[in-house]
């Protein structure tokens, strides 16, 4: 497995309807972009959210943070770098960096947990050891970047 498999890039173009009256991406859309990139990453590594749900797992957001560095405009193409930086078998944390033409425009993070359909915490190592091991392999530390 590649050392950087847990570090993916998601490309997207900015649509007109995602902008506000000033012509910049509305702040709420960045959280959606993070989700799109996270779902794409999980799909790329063979752990799609759909497959997780088939196993009876749900992955709610516990927290999300976003720092706006420079506006993104209608028509621009962005690359969202997504990394899984923490995973302890119950919770996980992703970090995101949104670039446009090589320039960092936005950064953020989100924290999640694993629950069953009854909204009870799932201990991945015990209940889903294969998924647990795969997730551990995806964690990117500061020295891996």
Alpha carbons within 13 angstroms on the beta-carbon side of residue 52 total: 23
Cα 12 to Cα 30, 75, 82, 123, distances in angstroms: 12, 10, 13, 34
From CA 68, how far away is CA 33, in angstroms rounded? 13
Catalytic residue, from 20, 88, 116, 144: name it. Answer: 20
Closest residue by Cα to residue 36 from 81, 84, 100: 81
Closest residue by Cα to residue 34 from 45, 23, 24, 42: 42
116 a catalytic residue: no
Element (H, E) at 143: none
Query: Which residues are part of the catalytic machinery?
Result: 20
């Amino acid at each position: 497995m590649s050392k950087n498999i847990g570090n993916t890039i998601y490309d997207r173009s900015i649509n007109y309807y995602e902008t506000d009256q000033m012509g910049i991406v509305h702040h709420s859309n960045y959280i959606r972009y993070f989700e799109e990139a996270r779902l794409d990453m999980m799909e790329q590594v063979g752990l799609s959210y759909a497959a997780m749900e088939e196993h009876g797992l749900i992955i709610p957001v516990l927290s999300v943070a976003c720092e706006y560095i420079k506006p993104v405009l209608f028509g621009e193409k962005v690359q969202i770098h997504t990394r899984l930086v923490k995973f302890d078998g119950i919770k996980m944390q992703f970090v995101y960096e949104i670039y446009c033409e090589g320039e960092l425009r936005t950064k953020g993070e989100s924290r999640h947990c694993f629950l069953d359909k009854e909204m009870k915490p799932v201990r991945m190592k015990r209940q889903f050891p294969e998924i647990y091991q795969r997730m551990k392999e995806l964690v990117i530390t500061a020295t891996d970047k």
